[in-house]
Amino acid sequence: MLLRVPVLCLVVAAASVPCASAQYNFHFGRNKIQYTDFEWHVLETEHFDVYHYPEMRELAEHGAAFAEEAYKEMQNRFLFSLQERTPLVFYATDLHFKQTNITSGFIPDGVGGFYEFLKGRVVIPANGDLHRFRRVVRHEIVHVFTLNKLLRVYRDHRIVSARLLPLWFTEGLAEYWSGPQDHQHEMVMRDAVYSNYLVPLENIYRVYGSFLMYKQGEALCRYIAETFGEEKLLDLIDNAWRNADFRKVMEHTLQEDYKKLSADWQHVVREDYYPRLSKAQPPSVSAQGIAVRGFSAKPAFYKTKAGRRYVYYVGNKEGYTNLYSQELDSLYRPAGKAGMLVRGERDDRFEAFHVLASRLDVSSKGRLAFVTKSGEKDVIHTFDLEANALESTYGFDTLTAVYSPTWDPEGERLSFSGINAAGVIDLYIFDTLTDELTRLTTDTYDDRDPAWRPDGQMIAFSSNRTFFGEDGSHNLFTYDVLSGSIDYVTQGPHNDFSPSWSPDGRWLVYTSARKDSMDRYGGQDIYVADMLETPPIATRNFVRQSPGTRYAVEERRLTNWTTAVFDPIWTADDKLVFTTFENRRFTVRSVSSADSLVMQPRQTEVVEPVSGGHWTYPSISAQSERRPYPYKKQYGLDIAQGQISSSAFWGTSGGAVLSMSDLLGNDRLYLLMYRAADFGERTGNFFRSLNIHVSRVQLHRRTNIGYGVYRHGGLRYDITEPDVSTEFPRFWETIVGGFGALSYPLSMFRRIEFSTSLAWDRKRIPERRIDRVAYLFSNAASIVHDNALFGANGPVDGWRGELGVAYTTDIGNANVDYITGSIDFRHYLRIARHVTFASRALGRINHGKEARLWFMGGSWDLRGYPLFDVRGKKMWFTSHEFRFPILTQPALHVPILAALGIVNLRGALFLDAAHAWNDYYRQELPQIFAGETLGSGGLGFRLNVLGGFVLRYDIGFRFRDRFSRRDPSMFRQFFFGFDF
Partner 1 sequence: MVLMGACRSIQVGSVEVGEEAAPLIVPPLELAWTHNAGAGFGVEPPHIRDNIAFVGTRRGEVIALSLEDGQRLGAKQFGESIEGSPVSVGGDLVVPIAFGKYALASYSVNSGRSLWSAQGEAVVAGILAMDDGFVVADAEGTVRRYDTSGEILWAATPGGRVRSRPARAGGRIIVADENGCVSAVAADDGSVLWQHCQGRPVYAPLAMLESVVIVPTTRGVVEFVDAEKGELVSTYAVQDRTVRFTAAGTGGEMVVMGTSDGRLVALSHGGKELLWEIEGMDSFLGGPLIVGRYVYAASTGAILYAVSLESGSIAWQIKLRGRTKTGLAAAHGKLLVLTEPRHVQAFRTTNTVIKP
Q: Footprint of partner 1 on this chain (CB under 8 A)? A: 72, 75-77, 79-81, 83, 152, 155-158, 229-231, 241-242, 255
Query: What values do phi and psi take at 144, rounded to 5?
Result: -60, -45
Smallest separation, CB 160 to partner 1 (Å) = 12
Residue 166 and residue 197 in contact, taking contact as beta carbons nearer than 8 Å:
no
Beta bridge partners of 315: 296, 322
Smallest separation, CB 165 to partner 1 (Å) = 18
Query: What values do phi and psi take at 92, rounded to 5?
Result: -70, -35
Residue 823 and residue 801 in contact, taking contact as beta carbons nearer than 8 Å:
yes
Smallest separation, CB 263 to partner 1 (Å) = 23
Beta bridge partners of 497: 511
* Residue 53 DSSP label: -
Smallest separation, CB 82 to partner 1 (Å) = 9
Smallest separation, CB 780 to partner 1 (Å) = 51
Which CB sits closer to partner 1, 230 or 264? Answer: 230
CA torsion 197→200→201→203, rounded to 10°? -80
Residue ranges with strand state E in 200-334: 288-291, 295-303, 309-316, 321-328
Q: What are the b/e assignments for 741-773, b being 16+ CB within 10 Å?
A: bbbbbbbbbbbebbbbbebebebebeeeeeebe
Which CB sits closer to partner 1, 152 or 849? Answer: 152
Which CB sits closer to partner 1, 59 or 70? Answer: 70
Residues near 963 by Cβ (< 8 Å), separated by ≥ 6?
913, 933, 935
Smallest separation, CB 595 to partner 1 (Å) = 51
Which CB sits closer to partner 1, 79 or 899? Answer: 79
* Residue 970 DSSP label: P
Smallest separation, CB 608 to partner 1 (Å) = 33
Closest CA to 314 of 49, 575, 579: 579
CA–CA separation, 291 vs 3, rounded Å? 55
Which CB sits closer to partner 1, 252 or 762? Answer: 252
Query: What is the separation, in whole angstroms, between the first and last Cα of the chain?
Result: 23
Smallest separation, CB 53 to partner 1 (Å) = 31
Smallest separation, CB 135 to partner 1 (Å) = 18
Which CB sits closer to partner 1, 83 or 623? Answer: 83
Q: Which helix (H) or strand (E) holds 213?
A: helix 211-228
CA–CA separation, 38 vs 63, rounded Å? 18
Closest CA to 273 of 225, 232, 215, 208: 215
Which CB sits closer to partner 1, 232 or 589? Answer: 232
Query: What values do phi and psi take at 272, rounded to 5?
Result: -75, -45
CA–CA separation, 329 vs 298, rounded Å? 20
CA 889 to chain centre: 23
Helix (H, G, I), strand (E, B) or coil at 192: helix
Residues near 456 by Cβ (< 8 Å), separated by ≥ 6?
408, 409, 410, 481
Which CB sits closer to partner 1, 163 or 242? Answer: 242
Q: What angle do CA 745, 750, 753 make, to 5 degrees?
A: 55
Which CB sits closer to partner 1, 189 or 234? Answer: 234
Smallest separation, CB 142 to partner 1 (Å) = 14
Smallest separation, CB 164 to partner 1 (Å) = 19
Q: What does each C-alpha distance from 360 to 450, 451, 529, 716 come to in angstroms?
A: 11, 11, 22, 62
CA–CA separation, 105 vs 909, rounded Å? 31
Smallest separation, CB 71 to partner 1 (Å) = 10
Residues near 108 by Cβ (< 8 Å), separated by ≥ 6?
none
Smallest separation, CB 175 to partner 1 (Å) = 17
Closest CA to 499 of 456, 459, 464, 558: 459
Which CB sits closer to partner 1, 15 or 64? Answer: 64
Which CB sits closer to partner 1, 155 or 972? Answer: 155
Which CB sits closer to partner 1, 78 or 631? Answer: 78
Residue 383 and residue 391 in contact, taking contact as beta carbons nearer than 8 Å:
yes
CA torsion 413→418→421→423, rounded to 10°? 160
Smallest separation, CB 248 to partner 1 (Å) = 12
Q: What are the b/e assignments for 638-652, b being 16+ CB within 10 Å?
A: beeeeeeeeeeeebe
Which CB sits closer to partner 1, 233 or 597? Answer: 233
Q: Which helix (H) or strand (E) holds 78?
A: helix 57-78
Which CB sits closer to partner 1, 149 or 185? Answer: 149
CA–CA separation, 469 vs 111, rounded Å? 23
Which CB sits closer to partner 1, 242 or 317? Answer: 242
Sheet of 413-420: strand order equals: 399-407, 413-420, 425-431, 436-439
Smallest separation, CB 152 to partner 1 (Å) = 7
Which CB sits closer to partner 1, 229 or 866? Answer: 229
CA 272, 274, 277, 278 dihedral sign is negative
Smallest separation, CB 76 to partner 1 (Å) = 4
Helix (H, G, I), strand (E, B) or coil at 274: helix
Residue 540 and residue 551 in contact, taking contact as beta carbons nearer than 8 Å:
yes
Smallest separation, CB 144 to partner 1 (Å) = 15
Closest CA to 940 of 851, 880, 889, 894: 880
Which CB sits closer to partner 1, 78 or 828? Answer: 78
Which CB sits closer to partner 1, 80 or 744? Answer: 80
Residue 736 and residue 759 in contact, taking contact as beta carbons nearer than 8 Å:
yes
Beta bridge partners of 52: 41
